[in-house]
Amino acid sequence: NAGVMQNPRHLVRRRGQEARLRCSPMKGHSHVYWYRQLPEEGLKFMVYLQKENIIDESGMPKERFSAEFPKEGPSILRIQQVVRGDSAAYFCASSPYSIPNTGELFFGEGSRLTVL
């Protein structure tokens, strides 16, 4: 059973370009979470999705950021018109159950975005 797979592992973009980060959850997991980690800071929650639905996006900036988790395929975190402040490590986690139902989070290796 493969772990949470994220790609690309490293992504370089110039200001104004778009970044797309992909996350394939562990087999059997229908709950996906995205977190952002800035250098020397802790992880900050961005968005929680369950197949085809956004459950909680309270941690995601209102503009330029969007997330989806389609019925088929990986979850996508999309950042439009990137700025230098978007440079960070973006982590995806998956769980077979929701957190209130004893969901344990399993994390991927992260995607490290650098904006030039």
Partner 1 sequence: KQEVTQIPAALSVPEGENLVLNCSFTDSAIYNLQWFRQDPGKGLTSLLLIQSSQREQTSGRLNASLDKSSGRSTLYIAASQPGDSATYLCAVSNNNDMRFGAGTRLTVKP
Q: Which residues here bind partner 1, judged by CB under 8 A?
A: 4, 6, 33, 35, 41-45, 48, 55-56, 59, 91, 93, 98-100, 102, 104-110, 112
CB of 74 to partner 1, least distance (A): 16
Smaller CB separation from partner 1, 19 or 95: 95
CB of 96 to partner 1, least distance (A): 13
Strands (E), the chain: 5-7, 10-13, 19-24, 31-37, 43-50, 53-56, 65-68, 75-79, 88-95, 106-107, 111-115
